[in-house]
Amino acid sequence: MSASKVPSDDHCDYRSPLSTRYASTEMRYNFSDQNKFGTWRRLWVYLAKAEMELGLAIKPEQIAEMEAHVDDIDFEAAAKEERLTRHDVMAHVHVFGKQCPLAAPIIHLGATSCYVGDNTDLLLLRQGFDILLPKLASVIQRLAKFAHEYRSLPTLGFTHLQPAQLTTVGKRATLWLQDLVMDERAIRRARNDLKFRGVKGTTGTQASFLQLFNGDEKKVKQLDALVTKMAGFEKYYAVTGQTYSRKVDIECLNVLSSLGASVHKICTDLRLLANMKEIEEPFESTQIGSSAMPYKRNPMRSERCCSVARHLMVLVNDVLHTAAVQWMERTLDDSANRRLALAEAYLSADTILMTLQNITEGLVVYPKVIARHVAQELPFMSTENVIMAMVKTGGDRQDCHEKIRVLSQEAAEQVKQHGLDNDLVDRIRRDPYFAPILPQLDALLNPSTFVGRAPQQVVEFLEEEVYPILKNYKGLESGKVELHI
């Protein structure tokens, strides 16, 4: 089909699944044109206010005119202007100027494109963190409740994906929690480390502003500080080129990519446990697991998390390469890449956290299935306990070891070759050699005696590591979570 014949409705345009299917309204708005270009206009207002305060010939009515039109953006006119000028910032300067004829002469006074572009990006990155952190805290809180509830439920541990020494369902959940706690700290740190680019001029030297203020360096520094404060930042980067260092983007996407790795690991575990029918993610009464196999209960939410997390994890490579090739004071080959990488990283992180929220609020545990799997493997794991018990009654360790070895091989044969249950315990009960310990055999095989300090570790970890972090957030019980920095 030729381009001229393509229908013009929304369904005939490519739209990112992150914005149409997965991410939240608030995160989509954060990276929307309305928010972006509205922020540009607010930055122009801040600049004009600060310049007026420091003595430049700017009138209050000019600022009032600008403030009245901050969110009144004519996107069609801006697009038309950009097609002519091939410059997005100047297109919006012109359109804003037409809406504000009194203020037109002083809009963008002394500034360069990166004044609005980079400072807006920093605001959006910080706001993006503010959206993500409460969602991450909600996941941590829900997993903490889950870990505490199942802190003492024995389950098979796995190393190399082979049955290993027992752990508990709650203890395994603390391994997930520990990764998320590390992510929360890293994201909060990256959020708080963000500074403002401020008012730095074309190549970061502030030469244009020094000229505006007739060489008064003190006023130039005051201008930088005033605008930074108006934008809600405490500090600005002391030195920049035309842009703030693109290593800032690396720091932001590093922590988001690391979060992606954590979520992928958690959801992979859940998918494996669902295969074993031990734990399942929520499954709604009308949900369809498979179009061909009605009985299936596919872990589709966990699969979605893994899928989007993989995309998130690779996006940090974009900003790494961008930072590496910023020639001298800047080069424009960062622009198109950053439009994609920054927004998609935050939208992807938002997607996996919302999905993980849903998963963790409705995890279903099947204790009887877990107990059956434990019963299949525990007899083999308990052989050392049996040997020690026999030695305590006067038995010879080497003789006992040989007896257990033979019986274990016979039981393994039943399991592997004939598909039968593990009958090692029954074989021990039938062998007269083990008569002295039969009264205590059930106690020796109690799964709870094989989990070590797992239940206590859960409680200690929650109290020492998790609950202190959750104190930074309010509204966790109501679902309206707020971060208090």
Active site residues: 160, 290
Tokens of 206: 């502030």
How far apart CA 395 and CA 389 sit, in angstroms, is 9
Residue type, 235: K
How far apart CA 269 and CA 158 sit, in angstroms, is 11
How far apart CA 450 and CA 392 sit, in angstroms, is 19
Q: Nearest-CA neighbor of 177 among 166, 165, 188, 169?
A: 169
Phi-psi category of residue 108: left, alpha or beta, with phi > 0 → left and psi -120 to 50 → alpha: left
Tokens of 244: 């703030």
Q: Nearest-CA neighbor of 120 among 243, 255, 253?
A: 243
How far apart CA 255 and CA 263 sit, in angstroms, is 12
Provide the 8-state DSSP code for 196: B
The answer to whether 302 touches 271, Cβ cutoff 8 Å, is: yes
Q: How many residues does the chain have?
A: 485
β-strand pairing of 154-159 with 279-280: unpaired
How far apart CA 436 and CA 453 sit, in angstroms, is 29
How far apart CA 338 and CA 332 sit, in angstroms, is 10
| Residue-by-residue DSSP string for 268-312 | HHHHHHHHTTSEE----TT--S-SS-TT----HHHHHHHHHHHHH
| Integer angstrom CA distances of residue 173 from 89, 144, 150, 283 | 49, 8, 9, 20
* φ, ψ at 327 (rounded to 5°): -70, 135
Tokens of 485: 């920095």
Tokens of 420: 């039968």
Half-sphere exposure of 427 (CA within 13 A, CB side): 20
Tell me the helices (H) and strands (E) count for the chain, helix number first: 20, 6
Q: How far is CA 375 from the centre of its chain?
A: 37
Q: Nearest-CA neighbor of 258 among 185, 329, 321, 326?
A: 185
* φ, ψ at 288 (rounded to 5°): -105, 125
Residue 483: strand pairing partners: 473
β-strand pairing of 279-280 with 162-168: unpaired
